[in-house]
Amino acid sequence: MPTRTATCACGAVEIALDGPPIATLSCCCDDCQAAAARLEALPGAPAFREDCGGTPATLYPRRALKVTRGRDKLDPVRLRDGSPTRRMVATCCNAFLYADFDRGPFWVDVVNARFTGDAPRPRWRIQTRFLKDPPPGDIPNHPKYPQGLVWRLALAGVLNGLPGRR
């Protein structure tokens, strides 16, 4: 599969993603909703959430992501002190590009709104139990995690050498 790219809103930061994604989804968990509200409130920050509050993202193995331009402009934002989740924001335009983890998951979550060209369509909406209102029925909605996602993550973990770091 050819390399895909994603950029910040102003184009100063670019990432390349080599190979096929693990999965595409929209996460509605309480952490993603809280982080999205905080990140979208930054000065000049572009919106990236669905109307229902979910964050559409595409999961790639960590080793598939390469920062090709503007690494010095990426700033990790944590929702809480000690959180293993780092949401990487371009300081030039306050665009949220991807989430990475200090420990745990072997993948990165690339924000679909940041893809160059057409973004992959989410296959599932997960963690919908955290939404205030029922989500739209345009894709399958799951209160937790669908079995298909769990299987994809397990297979990708085996293929990418769990827990593996870049």
Sequence spans of domains, the chain = 4-159
Using one digit for the tens of pLDDT, what is the confidence trace for 62-114?
999 999 999 999 999 999 999 999 999 999 999 999 999 988 789 999 999 99
Using one digit for the tens of pLDDT, what is the confidence trace for 45-72?
999 999 999 999 999 999 999 999 999 9
Query: What is the share, in percent, of the chain residues with pLDDT greater than 90?
Result: 88
Measure Cα distances from 43 to 9, 95, 118, 157 in Å: 13, 10, 26, 37
For residue 146, give the 3-state DSSP assignment.
coil
pLDDT band at 153 (very low <50, low <70, confident <90, very high): very high
CA atoms within 13 A on the CB side of 71: 5
pTM (whole model) above 0.85: yes
pLDDT band at 166 (very low <50, low <70, confident <90, very high): very low
CATH number for the domain whose boundaries are 4-159:
3.90.1590.10
